[in-house]
Structure 1
Amino acid sequence: METKPTEIGSSKMFGGYNKRYKHFSPTLGCSMTFHIYFPPSSSPSHKFPILYWLSGLTCTDENFIIKSGAQRAASAEGVALIAPDTSPRGLNVEGEADSWDFGVGAGFYLNATQQKWKNWRMYDYVVKELPKLLSENFPQLDTSKASISGHSMGGHGALTIYLKNLDKYKSASAFAPIANPINCPWGQKAFTNYLGNDKAAWEEYDATCLIKKFHNVSATILIDQGEDDKFLDQLLAHKFEEACRSVNVPLLLRLQPGYDHSYFFISTFIDDHIRHHAQALKL
């Protein structure tokens, strides 16, 4: 079982390279894939700051790399993009693929406490295993300069991981995040199955609850939300906005008229997010 990453794909884009890797994850107990976009480099010794992108329900590590067009701005700004998968795969846990909003493709970036789902430890994978793997195997990446972003379930992941690890990330942003999962059907279903019925455990993975606890945020959090998103009742950005306001956390919430939940929406505004992070990473 090879824990060191093996390159399984490469394609040139905007002067840099999208590269896909496979490795065995001890955290998750299965093989995982992830993508890195390396911007063009003028010097072999140059180290790039990194932006983690966490994808949403049903996605793999490929969706963002193929659909977002983020590489253009990442190339211009000199930021490497890291796109992990969204859950363990291939474990064949009973019921793991019964629905699109739970199990495979729906790791919710938490550490499950229920025995059946013990391998679902995407929080530890993203926060601990992946940064260590990157720093040990990719000398061209400066893992000490990292920011985090994501979409939908991944937006939830980006916000919660950022708030719980303010020392590890320079900035955070999100597209249409599940901002208050304890109060929406997607979150309630996932949290009941992964975490059991202890509501205090749920709150540890809810950005709207966490902001009240970890409110010493200095960098502005950027969120884009499409006003024509059909999942507004699942996302609850206004709840997060109210919570940020109550503790004076700087939030730029942009409601985008006519936009939906898709990658058409993400690709329209992704350059703003890349620049938002590049600015924080270069401070």
Structure 2
Amino acid sequence: MKIISEAKAHGGRQGVYTTQSEACGCDMTFAVFSPPLAKEHLCPVVWYLSGLTCTHANVMDKGEYRRMASELGLIIVCPDVSPRGDHIPDEPDNWQFGKGAGFYLDATETPFAAHYKMETHILSELPALIASHFAADLDRQGVMGHSMGGHGALTFALKHPDRFKSCSAFAPIAQPSTADWSRPALEKYLGADPALWRRHDATLLIEDGARFDEFLVDQGAADGFLEDGLRPWLLTEACEKAGISLTLRMQEGYDHSYNFISSFMEDHLSWHSKRLGGPAA
């Protein structure tokens, strides 16, 4: 792990780091906030997964999580959303695919399978690194995300309920296998058979029997992507049929931006903290 930067914030430390990812075949950047309690105690970890076109820096610079994370004693880990580099296959004119749009899955199709392994990177590589270098209690992990990252958070929680004890999302893509801005990406990463996409679709995972205790979802009612891309009512229907507790809050006047996310970030961190518990010696 290479340190790019570290700075004191709210009594804790905000850092940016890189690591050589075998899964992605490139250097991967990520951010970690350690609260002051991490100097003496192991602390719960909340993973934040960003959306399309973002990097680790978007939530770090605009998400306003540090004060509350410091108060609650939470370590916040912010991975990048895709592999990076000149050798990484991409569609530069397509913001919904390629670099900046990894969709938190392991690609199986050429040429993307060689590098687009975000699921392995986040679920296997980074946890080992976090455990080695930070005062992280990996028995108490939560996951959250925005948009494409909300999709990732929901699917990770549904597939790994033994690992993640809490899950929340801001404006998640509820059913990416049928949404206009995500279906083409799933086809290019995973192939043309829609049956192969189901493990990366929250509503279809639930339909196929995956379960998680409860979700918190905030959605801006003035979000321009609400009708075509996000469609939270599909998640509501799936959770109701499966008996999964879903707290869906439609926030009047809010859009898809970090103005929306930062407004409710403290609510989400409090949600996670209540389910993860405080620091342990």
Sort the TM-score into its range (normalised by shorter chain).
over 0.9
Residue 44 of structure 2 aligns with which residue? 49
1:135 counterpart residue number:
131
Tell me the equivalent position of 1:81: 76
> For residue 246 of structure 2, what is the amino acid of its counterpart?
L
Letter in 2 for 1:249: I
**Amino acid across the alignment from 1:269:** F
The unaligned stretches of length 5 or more in structure 2 are none
3-state DSSP of counterpart to 1:229: coil
Aligned ranges 1:256-271 → 2 under 5 Å: 256-271=251-266
Partner in structure 2 of residue 225 of structure 1: 219
251 and 32 in structure 1: CA distance in 2 versus 1, 3 angstrom threshold: same
Please give the alpha-carbon distance, in whole angstroms, between the structure 2 residues aligned to 1:114 and 1:272. 39
Q: Give the TM-score of the pair, scaled to structure 1.
A: 0.94
- 2:148 aligned partner: 153
Cα distance in 1 for residues equivalent to 2:94 and 2:81: 15
Matched, 1:28 2:24: yes
Paired with 1:214 and 1:66, the residues of 2 have a C-alpha distance of: 38
Instruction: Please give the alpha-carbon distance, in whole angstroms, between the structure 2 residues aligned to 1:125 and 1:276.
Output: 26
Q: Which residue in the other structure is 1:184 paired with?
A: 179
Aligned in 2, Cα 1:92/1:270: closer, same or farther, shift over 3 Å? same
Change (3 A) 1:214 1:127: farther
Contact kept, 8 Å, 2:81 with 2:118, in 1: the verdict is yes
Q: Equivalents in 2 of 1:185, 1:246: separation in Å?
A: 25
**Please, what is the CA RMSD of the aligned residues?**
1.3
Shift of 1:94: 4.5
Aligned residue number for residue 6 of structure 1? 2
Q: Please say if 1:245 is aligned against 2:240.
A: yes
How far the C-alpha of 1:21 sits from its partner, in A, is: 0.5
The CA distance in 2 between the partners of 1:95 and 1:45, in whole Å, is 44
The residue aligned with 2:34 is 38
**3-state secondary structure, aligned to 1:115:** coil
Name 1:200's counterpart in structure 2.
195
Equivalent AA in structure 1 for residue 194 of structure 2: K
Aligned length: 276
What 5-or-longer segments of structure 1 have no aligned partner? none
Distance 1:78 1:132 in 2: 20
Matched position secondary structure for 1:270? helix
Per the TM alignment, residue 150 of structure 1 is displaced from its structure 2 partner at its CA by 0.2
1:215–1:247: 8 Å Cα contact kept in structure 2? no
Return the alpha-carbon distance in structure 2 between the equivalents of residues 69 and 61 of structure 1. 13
SS of corresponding position for 2:217:
strand
The amino acid across from 1:32 in the alignment is M
In structure 2, C-alpha distance between the alignment counterparts of 1:217 and 1:270, rounded to whole Å: 21
What SS is found at the alignment partner of 2:196?
A: helix
Q: Any idea what the Cα deviations from partners look like across 1:49-77, whole Å, max 9, x if unmatched?
A: 10000000000011101101011111111
Counterpart-to-counterpart distance in 1, 2:272 and 2:254:
23
2 CA distance for matches of 1:97 and 1:137? 35
Give the conservation status (yes or no) of the 8 Å contact 1:163–1:214: no
Answer whether contact 2:90 2:97 (CA < 8 A) is retained.
no
Aligned to 1:125: 121
Report the TM-score, using the length of structure 2 for normalisation: 0.95
